[in-house]
Amino acid sequence: MRQIVALLMLAGSALPAFADEPADAVRPFYENIGMEYDEASLELFVDPARSVIEADRRMAEDGDLCLGFLLSVDAQDYDDAEVARSLELSQEGDDERAEVTARFSNFGADQTVIWRLVNQDGWKIADIGAPANGWWLSELSCD
């Protein structure tokens, strides 16, 4: 029985479902780049972001490409070590809504990705964007 409990605790530790701070909910997406596309991560999202990610998954099942890039790094490819070494997260907001800004370097280029979160049974991601590159997940369509 103890082994089962230990395994369940380890399995749940990869997901920041009950993050105390908004930045704590975002950090795992940089520790596991591409995590936004893992099915287990869907519970970390709320609308409008969740709807777009779900639509992207439906298209992928049909062999179609919608988003086609890693939201967390605003790119199709990344240098894991460089992103990890340079990552800086800052947050602002209140107990209900927050914005986390991720600044990092990827292949020598400075990147900024903004995460908008809401506190609904823990911090959940409502939107992701890179305004300097002209996109917000909530404004993309995968229909």
pTM recorded for the entire structure: 0.86
Task: Look up residue 90 and give its amino acid.
Answer: S
| Cα distances (Å, whole numbers) of residue 119 to 3, 22, 64, 105 | 32, 9, 33, 29
**H-run or E-run covering 102:** strand 97-106
For the domain 15-139, what is the CATH code?
3.10.450.50
Domain boundaries, the chain: 15-139
- Written as tens digits, the pLDDT of the chain (143 aa) is 333 333 333 344 444 445 689 999 999 999 999 999 999 999 999 999 999 999 999 998 888 989 999 999 999 999 999 999 999 999 999 999 999 999 999 999 999 999 999 999 999 999 999 999 999 999 998 87
Please identify which residue in the block is written with the tokens 């479902």. 17
